[in-house]
Amino acid sequence: LLLATTLSVQANQTTINSIEQAAMTLNSTELASLANENSGYEQALANYRLSITQNLQGLSAQANTRLDLAIKALETLTKQQPTDDEAWVLLAQVYGLKIAYQPMQAMLFGPKAEQAINQGLALNNENPRAYLVKGISAFNTPSLFGGSKSAALKALNRSIALYSQDASSTTWGNAEAYIW
């Protein structure tokens, strides 16, 4: 059982590494393939990264479609596995990106993003990706609605500190914490 669990964790991280490599090179073909070949969390991550790539390439309709697929997969996953902090954190990030693509949707997705990140942090207060997402959200949220550049910096610094200790099976986002 331990060997099977270890192999599963390695397989998941191998897939995540492939997704991250394809995203860094803006390889939309590879990201689409990874999204189609996988399910659950990995599929949602691939669709999230593909959405960013397509948006950068000026394909906003396709980017929104991929983001909607990521939302659907993550909402299903959080219902099926409500204690999966990684799914909640990625869902919060995906909701935030939805707001970036469609600012008029902020009233709908803002509270959902906040609820998702709070759930992720409640499940695992040591998740570096949770602090990354919290920092991005604080940076992009207007101060009128609770955003703060100083809160963003605090969360991002916490994220960076936690990445040095991260031993989870879903490692991604370390470079982004430094960039933000």
For 137-163, give the DSSP string: HHHHS-GGGT--HHHHHHHHHHHHHHH
pLDDT given for residue 165 in this prediction: 86
Q: 3-class SS at 165?
A: coil
* Cβ atoms 127, 138 nearer than 8 A: no
**pLDDT digit string, tens, across residues 95-142:** 999 999 999 999 999 999 999 999 999 999 999 999 999 999 999 988
- Average pLDDT rounded to a whole number, residues 20-25: 94
Q: Once rounded to an integer, what is the mean pLDDT over residues 20-32?
A: 95
* Crossing angle (nearest 10°) for helices 128-140 and 106-123: 150
For the chain, the residue count is 180
Structure confidence by residue, pLDDT tens digits, 47-77: 999 999 999 999 999 999 999 999 999 999 9
Residues 6+ apart with CB under 8 A from 129: 86, 89, 90, 93, 159, 170, 172, 173
Query: What amino acid is encoded at 50 in this protein?
Result: L
Q: Which residues lie below 8 Å from residue 158, measured CB to CB, with a gap of 6+?
A: 128, 131
